[in-house]
Amino acid sequence: MNTTTALVCLLLAGCGGAPFSAADPTPDASPDSPVLASDGGSDAPAEAAGPDGGPEAAAPPDAGKEASPSEEAGAMPDAGCLYGETRCAPGGVNGVETCQGESGWSSPVLCVGKTCLDVYADGGMAGVCSGVCAPGKPTCDFNQPVTCSATGQWVDAGPACPEYTKCVGTSGGTSCTTTCGNCLTNADCETGCPPADAGTNCCNPSSFTCYATTGTSCP
C-alpha cells in the first residue's frame, strides 16, 4: 500500500477498523478494562451516611465502656472527706478528727480545757479547739455558780448564793452551802454566820463548829 492509499484509508476508516468519529475521539474501552469511579481526585473511601443523610458521627473513644459503681454513684475516692480536713468528733466527744484521705477520719484528739467548735475557715468548715472551758463543766466564780456553754465560755448558772452561804462546785454541779458551820477560829464564825441576837458568834475549839453566845465576846 502506497502513501496515498494509506492516507485515504486513515481518513475514511475503511481499512478494516471501526468508523472514526470526531465527536468520540477516545477509543472504546476494552471489556476487560476496569472502570474507575472519579470522586474529584480523592482516592479516600466514601464515608457512611448517617440517618439524616449526612456523614455518620464517629463513636466516642470510651463508647461501650461500662461505668464503675463509684462513677455511677458519684462516690468520692477519699471516703467523703478531703485529706487534712478537720471536724469535731461526732457523738458528743470533745475532740478534733482529721481526714486521712481514703482511710477516712482519724481518732479524735481531745480538747483539754477548751471546746471543739466547727468554724468557717478557708472556704469551708473546720473543727478547732476554742474557748476557755470544756462544755458542761460546772464551777463557782466566787459566790456565783457558773457552767461552760456550748461555745466554750463561762455563763451564770442561776442566781448567786445568798449571804452567809458559799458556792461549792463538784463533778455533779454546784451548790450553795452555809458558811455558819465548821470553823477553825472565832473569826470564821463572826464573818460566816448571821449576827447573833444580843451576843457573839464563836468557834467551839472541841467540835470546830460555830455557836452563838449571849456575851459580847468569845470565851
pLDDT digits (tens, 9 = 90+) for 179-218: 998 999 999 999 999 998 889 999 999 999 999 998 888 9
- With respect to residue 103, please indicate whether it lies within any of the assigned structural domains: yes
190 and 163 part of one domain: no
- With respect to residue 197, please indicate whether it lies within any of the assigned structural domains: yes
Number of domains present in the structure of the chain: 3
- With respect to residue 65, please indicate whether it lies within any of the assigned structural domains: no
- With respect to residue 97, please indicate whether it lies within any of the assigned structural domains: yes
Neighbours of 159 (CB within 10 A): 9
Query: Is the pLDDT score of 62 beyond 70?
Result: no
- Residue range 140-158: mean pLDDT, rounded: 93
121 and 154 part of one domain: no
- With respect to residue 145, please indicate whether it lies within any of the assigned structural domains: yes
In this prediction, residue 170 carries a pLDDT of 80
38 vs 199 pLDDT, higher one: 199
In this prediction, residue 66 carries a pLDDT of 54
- With respect to residue 47, please indicate whether it lies within any of the assigned structural domains: no
Q: Which of 111, 130, 149 is the last residue of a domain?
A: 130
Query: Is the pLDDT score of 139 beyond 80?
Result: yes
195 and 173 part of one domain: no
H or E stretch including 10? helix 3-12
Query: Is the pLDDT score of 36 beyond 80?
Result: no
Using a pLDDT cut of 90, give the percent of the chain over it. 44
- Residue range 17-40: mean pLDDT, rounded: 46
In this prediction, residue 35 carries a pLDDT of 44
Query: How many Å apart are CA 213 and CA 203, to the nearest integer?
Result: 10
Residue 100: pLDDT band with limits 50, 70, 90: very high
8 Å CB contact between 79 and 104: yes
Nearest alpha-carbon partner for 156 in 174, 171, 172, 132: 174
Residues for the chain: how many in total?
219
**Residues spanned by the domain of 106:** 86-130
**What are the backbone angles phi and psi of residue 129, rounded to the nearest 5°?**
-85, 125
- With respect to residue 161, please indicate whether it lies within any of the assigned structural domains: yes
Neighbours of 9 (CB within 10 A): 14
Pick the range with the lowest mean pLDDT from 34-48, 118-132, 134-148.
Answer: 34-48
pTM: 0.51
Residue 21: pLDDT band with limits 50, 70, 90: very low
Residue 68: pLDDT band with limits 50, 70, 90: very low
168 and 184 part of one domain: no
Average pLDDT over the chain, rounded to whole? 75
- With respect to residue 14, please indicate whether it lies within any of the assigned structural domains: no
- Residue range 46-66: mean pLDDT, rounded: 53
Indicate the burial class of 91 (C-beta count within 10 angstroms; 0-12, 13-18, 19 or more): exposed
